[in-house]
Amino acid sequence: MSKSSLEGIKVVDLSRVLGGPLSTQILGDHGANIIKVEPPAGDETRGWGPPYHERGSAYYDGVNRNKKCIALDMRQAEAHEILFRLLEQADILVENFKVGTFEKWGIGFEDVLQKKFPRLIHCRITGFGSTGPYAGFPGYDAVAQATSGLMSINGDPDRPPVRIGVPIVDLTTGMNAVIAILLALHERNTSGLGQSIEVSLYDTAISLIHPHAANWFLDGKPQNRTGSAHPNITPYDLLPTANGYLFLAIGNDRQFAGLCKHLGCENVSSDPRFAINADRAANRLALRKILEDILADKDGKALTQELLEKGIPAGSVQTVEDAMQHPQTIAREMVVTDGEYRGTGIPIKLSRTPGKIQFKPPQYGENNSEILSAAGYCEEEIQRFKDMQITLQKPKK
């Protein structure tokens, strides 16, 4: 197999929970050498379950493969010296401590790290960023969904706002962190210098409010919940069939005409109320009623296949279990297995330098001695760190 695209890049990952660990897992999937540094209590997600297994939780496993783990008590000065030793050969440092923590420890980026390691790229992931009235406040995905307006547009119009079912802000913040890191790596090729990056959950959440923010900027109207329907496109909605729900994602007039022809109701596409998207949007309730009546006795799963084959976007709603076993998922290698470990695959497909799974998610402190030895510490020093509980073998609760 060809080399991975990030082979030779070294990352020290002090982040926990989701956004940071996901970003470093993506880098690790593409060949970067990731050293995960866990605090005395361990990454919180080791306890986020059920389900659990002997190595931790399913939640932890989902974003921590392709890493080696050392457990350090960063509150101790000698742990800072170990961190510096690890950073001597590192390209990237990722962390999501509360704003000001590194500075409190006397290892802030501008005052210390940038001077000691001028090529280091420091990526800080925060809840609300380091400026503004919410600067330094703790941030979690659902809090960002709520405060950014994302939650206000999710759900049915006659019911309260609903949290988006996956931690969408954490996940996309992790992806933004990867983008930022790769941008900084590219720029370093020219300048020879690293820099500090800040990616916040709040900023990411604000950036996700499309097209609702764009709509509001233009017309100033309140953006309301529309259930599964799209605020700008019709029909773009979830509709019941005889055997489950079908999502129709009709993006243009040609697709709408094709849908009506396939359903045997060409008169609907020629109806002046539904001729173009603007008309369909103005008469969306009437159109929905017509489509509900037509689809009521249809096999939604079979119809999905028929419509897709004709270039008409549609999808029957599958369970997670169904999706993980679907032939398309398997064909795209989007489920990977390594012994007892199973996870989602690598979504970025590179033809010459593909990603790969090298390591299962590590146990807490699993690679303490290996990492310290590779950093140049002798056996006596490694044992002293263990005796002083600077490095740990089991989480402190």
Which of 170, 219, 237, 279 is labelled catalytic?
A: 170
How far apart CA 125 and CA 319 sit, in angstroms, is: 32
Q: Looking at this protein, which amino acid is placed at residue 206?
A: I
Tell me if 25 sits within 8 A of 16, measured CB to CB: no
CB count, 10 Å around CB of 139?
Answer: 25
Tell me if 64 sits within 8 A of 23, measured CB to CB: no
How far apart CA 146 and CA 197 sit, in angstroms, is: 25
How far apart CA 258 and CA 40 sit, in angstroms, is: 60
Q: Is 299 a catalytic residue?
A: no
| 3-class DSSP state of 145 | helix
Nearest to 142 by CA among 113, 179, 168, 107: 168
Nearest to 62 by CA among 356, 366, 348, 341: 341
Task: Please give the structure tokens belonging to residue 296.
Answer: 């009521």
* Structure-token match 């009709």, residue found: 250
Q: What is the DSSP string of 148-201?
A: HSTGGGSS-TTS-----SS-HHHHHHHHHHHHHHHHHHHHHHHH----EEEEEH
Active site residues: 170
